[in-house]
Homo-oligomer: A and B are copies of this chain.
Amino acid sequence: MNAGRTARDRARAELTQEIKDVARRQLAADGAERLSLRAISRELGMVSSALYRYFPSRDDLLTALIIDAYDALGSVAEKVSAAEKVSVAEKVSEPDPRSTWIAVCHAVRQWAKDHQHEYMLIYGSPIAGYQAPATTIQSAVRVAIVLLGVLTRAQREGRLDPLEAAREPSGVLAEQVAVVARAAPGVPATVLLRTVVAWTQLFGMISFELFGQLARTMDPADAFFADTIEQMATFVGLNRGVAAR
């Protein structure tokens, strides 16, 4: 990140960051669609062509912003998950996986509400003619990894409902679940499957809230969100008070 070998390198890194900052501000103000390289350069007091020294195209700038957004959201989720663990180590309260799961979900929603346009950038419709480079993927999966980590811990501590009522997946689905299972060793397939369901539900609900789809029904969505998160936590097998204490 730093690696400021020469003054020029440092200046370049600094300006690159500055460009992204201005872009993020414009993003928050007008949305991704209206993001204009010329407007950014104007705000920076430079000429538009100079921007191309730092980002070869508008799409490249957007890609950088997308990766940053994924990483920002991912680190928020990771931090919350870790904080829950720490609060356990020092206090008497046990590390309830269910409450950790719920805290992560609420943190994701809060970040989305605080960075609406950045959220739209990563979970809205993809930019036209834009192919997500492979580099974004490792940043994109961080939230999912955190959620799977919570379940893995719960499983290890015997706090996970096996959900035996559900049938084991088979065929293609079994193979796909096996891929997910690599991030959550020991967690039963039925739970993993439900986790993916909860994952899509979480972001579906956040998107609906932010995109105005909940208008005139669940509009102030706080109560609905809280209730749903509770339901989905139970859905994935994180029961209330299982083996607590």
Interface segment among A4-12, A82-90, A198-206: the answer is: A198-206
User: B180 and A196: CB pair below 8 A?
Assistant: no
User: A31 and B128: CB pair below 8 A?
Assistant: yes
* A126 interface residue per 8 A CB criterion: yes
Contacts of A132 in B (CB 8 A): 212
**Interface magnitude class on chain A:** 35 or more
User: A208 and B216: CB pair below 8 A?
Assistant: no
Expressed in whole angstroms, the minimum distance between the Cβ of A59 and any Cβ of chain B is 11
* A179 interface residue per 8 A CB criterion: yes
Contacts of A212 in B (CB 8 A): 126, 132
| Among candidates B125, B137, B194, B232, residue contacting A197 with C-beta atoms closer than 8 Å | B232
Interface segment among A16-24, A44-52, A222-230: the answer is: A222-230
Contacts of A172 in B (CB 8 A): 220, 222-223
* A213 interface residue per 8 A CB criterion: yes
**How distant is the Cα of A224 from the Cα of B170 in the complex, in angstroms?**
11
* A217 interface residue per 8 A CB criterion: yes
Q: Report A's interface with B, CB cutoff 8 A.
A: 30-34, 120-121, 123-129, 132, 137, 140, 166, 169, 171-173, 176, 179-180, 193-194, 196-197, 200-205, 207-208, 211-213, 215-220, 222-224, 227-228, 231-232, 235
Residue contacts A-B, CB under 8 angstroms, 12 given:
A31-B128, A124-B125, A140-B213, A169-B223, A176-B223, A176-B224, A196-B218, A196-B224, A197-B231, A200-B201, A200-B208, A203-B208
